[in-house]
Structure 1
């Protein structure tokens, strides 16, 4: 600012180093002023001379990029949660300490400092001061207050996470870089709010920006691009040729950057864990404690009857009836922590938010926030979307065969199938925490029945696991096969009765996606079996790589169906199993000590496990605080059994435990992952220490 001799204020120091450290935002930016609401911060004005007698200062705030909301800052502590400030003059400095209310609007502010004459005329105006205000989960008056520091370190400050995937019998992990403190991620998060339908329509949007329920609902709608200028476009089946396969991503930052750079055009493509992970990044960045949740055997109940009805024809092919009930191997959403002053008591704490576009909520593709406590108790009248979420963890699974004459035959009812091993990353390390008890009482307990009855939608169905071919038991056994190998599946039929039986056994192997879309048939066997009383028949199905590679989906999942019918008996038995094909791992090594701003080299190696060469190999590497997403192509083909290694150098920009995440893609093998942890320290040099 120009130093005019007749001006009182010659320079402004927003003291971002001190303020950002005190407000735990230094990870976001060291230069710009970023503070949290409900907590004071100070700025210094250099003055060429003391204020003339009886002159005084006034402070005015403009909120938002379009400066449409104006707030006058009071001179002393006001009532009713207003902005106020204290002024101290020491020699040639004026220290202004600003106090924001704990429900202040979050976003960008401009501060105007006015020097006023005793008559109330503006003598001088300083208006170049900008800062950002975020939610403050450390402040007890903020709606998002979380009183446990170890939880805040995980749910706000941790930039790395683990997302659970796979199936309930084979729970798999995927490391994810949330990167909420990477450069300009905060700006993109605010840009997401500015691009929402509410903001573009300009209906009181900015006045609602202090309400975490409102913000969460906007983010839930804006992470998917259905009906708005949202971040990600969803796609659940190949091809992904005009975008990126959802399984390729290892972090949120490249997705957010691409959306912003393209002028709010949707990034292709996401599936549930990608939607959830990006939502987690945005909410943590804005200051709302958030975690990613995985529900195994997750129900999508379209008609709201708490029953997932799956129909097959006589060939055991799924009958597609347009929009229909389905059960997903797993489904991811997020939980955000807040008080719910808009709801009756007992609804504070974790709230479900689901950014995957499934059903409309009040005309928008979003879901939540809905209190986890309300789901557990069956209180389905609370907002938002409680009946849909209740069904995701509680619906019954009912499978039917539709005969050629149109007659429907029930082949399986399972009341305990849905809502298993609800999981999130532990606060105490890299292991899985099971949070199923937050969502439901133990299966079969009196309290669980009470919650059901309160939910009021269930009519008891006779469980026919025990009916049908009363004395026949059917089971499917398999190992955990590796993609690229041949493997066996064994179907056992056991005759517990005292009569010999003759039956027809059909075994079907299908390529599946994680959300139960059948990609195609890999193999089918139909055999007649004669089984003496008390005996067991074992049917072996050999699955060869060259057969299943033609049909397997990007989720590397084989679905198996075994169907047993006896002539003259009217109720067949059906058993299903999902067999995940495990992929090889990448080896990621980072030798040497990691020091802030000093070069480090990572070595990434991979061996081709297949019996065919891999073409077009490319490694993608990223890591919050380490390096932005970088592609390293492999030269030439990778022969069967061949090991390839690549080196990549980078300089860490933030201290602490960091993770480097790697993805490998090629023509025949995709989404192979690897990870390594790196502890970044400061170089112990007294001269450098002063600046960090």
Structure 2
């Protein structure tokens, strides 16, 4: 037998295996399987399968680009902690069932079948075949096991999602193409791991650590940003324009970003902001098999010194002097990933916070998490990783100070309730928002909330400030008409006298354009008035905001911040109120014609009407959709006049069947971040039978 060839090849049974392992959306031509679950191989032989007792079969697996790790697979020695396989013979081929342990490292393996003599000599060996091994959230013994099919459908299998943005009082969303099953994405995900600092320093140790989703998710948190490694994205917040690069608001999905990074030789892609970092991390983690969802925290604090306090200084004219490096962002996005935490005490399995946006260093690198959501809720800031920073994001206080000309400061007010509200994610039951605030914190003002603050080390003063012991006679509120980008609208400030005597005060209203992370982009309009408000009455002041006031300075986030300040006559008392106004953006109209089937041409007509009173130049539509079309840009050849409609046409052939979303963005010199989406039901290939 040794002198004749026995093996003629190995069939990886890709379609059969990938379907059983929930990876058929990635590929059916390559083998992609999940750990802790068996997969089949067909070993083709030149004749009948040899049954000579002097010979036996063996499998050898090698892991890593340089085959750093070798695993010899036992035959018929069942052990859930080890690789093993069984064999069934047949005419001309043998069926091998291969079993992997549920805690083995993920990665790209090569596999060879060996024919071994009784004295241990290798008589024959098949050519190596490669396959990917991923985490298995369907396997009870896997650390990422998620025992809910509805949740698995959303947090592993759904390639489309919603990312919530805007303001706590006016929540908006942007559709996102995660595209974790798109062509080449799985290869790029492992390329990201292979370029981490941990891999470059000690590749053998890194490969072994890839068994642990805690380690891998923390690595991804570090590698999605490129601040101190070969990471995917560079961030940019408000420092000039994005000339020659992609503005963060233009991205419709993660796939184009990942491909640009890989095709560019691992040079960082420019640019991202928090929702882009979070969405790319979500794509990578879902692709690797870790259930993941995007989270948005509204009024999110960036506390870099751990005192749970964000201070804002204003001068006597109510102009912001400094918010320092610590700010409260209108919103901030991160991800949660589902996993067991065997490195922590019992009770901290489940959702873990991971934040790939580069804000503060952790263990010398820009990364954050994983940290159990439960640890944040209970104030357990000693838990790994980065619990104090995340706790502050949802719990810090805001203190406003007035700085006088002589340098002294007067506390205007302390806001203890607005940070960390309406924490949101997409529902597993459709395109609705799910509020998960209660998973992060107890109700504001409750006894349990105070208890958690004390546990977290907060200095709770038992001597209230003078301003807090006295009930103010006047109350402020800010309202506005529907604020549509490109139009004029009114801001209404109401001053209510809740006392029994008339009150006199000086009112100042200021409006400024800001970015979503509270960077000042320009003054819009202001107004001052001297008021006399009768007892138990309300007085209104209106600030008219015209497009000419905000059009030239508004950021790509379309946010106007209004600050109203009341200075009581004959009293050293100041009352202040702040509100953010989200300008409503137009929507793109998308019409698709043609037969919605795989490999059948369909045509999309995309229409924009210029809502601004100015001409738009350098317009470009960006289109993409998982299973539909790769990212495609369509420049608009001519300027778009005020009120003018422009329609572009795009034809494509869908690549995968099922429910698919086509996402479109429009950007120009004066109008950015205009979105549109449409859903298509794509049928499978049609065959013309003879």
TM-score range normalised by the length of the shorter chain:
over 0.9
Alpha-carbon offset, residue 415 of structure 1: 1.3
- Are 1:240 and 2:238 an aligned pair? no
SS at match of 2:401: strand
In structure 1, the partner of 2:177 is 177
In structure 2, the partner of 1:29 is 27
Alpha-carbon offset, residue 398 of structure 1: 1.3
Q: Which moved more, 1:523-532 or 1:37-46?
A: 523-532
SS at match of 1:558: strand
SS at match of 1:19: helix
CA distance in 1, matches of 2:677, 2:114: 53
In structure 2, the partner of 1:377 is 378
1:619-668: CA deviation from partner (whole Å, max 9, x where unpaired):
11000000001111223121211111122111111111110000011121
CA distance in 1, matches of 2:16, 2:3: 30
Change (3 A) 1:442 1:468: closer
Alpha-carbon offset, residue 463 of structure 1: 6.9
In structure 2, the partner of 1:333 is 334
In structure 2, the partner of 1:38 is 36
CA distance in 1, matches of 2:90, 2:379: 61
SS at match of 1:613: coil
CA distance in 2, matches of 1:77, 1:151: 35
SS at match of 2:366: coil
8 Å contact 1:480–1:579 — kept in the other structure?
Answer: no
Q: Which moved more, 1:283-292 or 1:74-83?
A: 74-83
In structure 2, the partner of 1:96 is 96
From 556, 559, 564, the equivalent of 2:558 is 556
SS at match of 1:423: strand
Alpha-carbon offset, residue 312 of structure 1: 1.8
SS at match of 1:259: helix
Query: Would you identify which runs of 4 or more consecutive aligned residues in structure 1 move more than 6 Å?
Result: none
Following superposition of structure 1 onto structure 2, how do residues 122-521 of structure 1 map, counting pairs within 5 Å? 122-202=122-202, 204-237=205-238, 238-320=240-322, 324-460=325-461, 462=464, 470-521=472-523
Q: Which moved more, 1:592-601 or 1:387-396?
A: 592-601
CA distance in 1, matches of 2:688, 2:84: 39
Q: Output the TM-score relative to the length of structure 2.
A: 0.96
CA distance in 2, matches of 1:254, 1:181: 13
From 576, 589, 594, the equivalent of 1:587 is 589
1:324-357: CA deviation from partner (whole Å, max 9, x where unpaired):
3211111100000011111111101100000011
In structure 2, the partner of 1:8 is 6
1:408-433: CA deviation from partner (whole Å, max 9, x where unpaired):
11112121111111110000000001
CA distance in 2, matches of 1:59, 1:352: 39
8 Å contact 2:82–2:100 — kept in the other structure?
Answer: yes
Any gaps of 5 or more consecutive residues in structure 2? none
Q: Output the TM-score relative to the length of structure 1.
A: 0.96
Alpha-carbon offset, residue 195 of structure 1: 0.6
8 Å contact 2:38–2:100 — kept in the other structure?
Answer: yes
From 513, 528, 539, the equivalent of 1:526 is 528
Change (3 A) 1:31 1:505: same
Change (3 A) 1:59 1:495: same
Any gaps of 5 or more consecutive residues in structure 1? none
From 613, 634, 637, the equivalent of 1:635 is 637
Alpha-carbon offset, residue 449 of structure 1: 2.4
8 Å contact 1:469–1:569 — kept in the other structure?
Answer: no
CA distance in 2, matches of 1:79, 1:18: 24
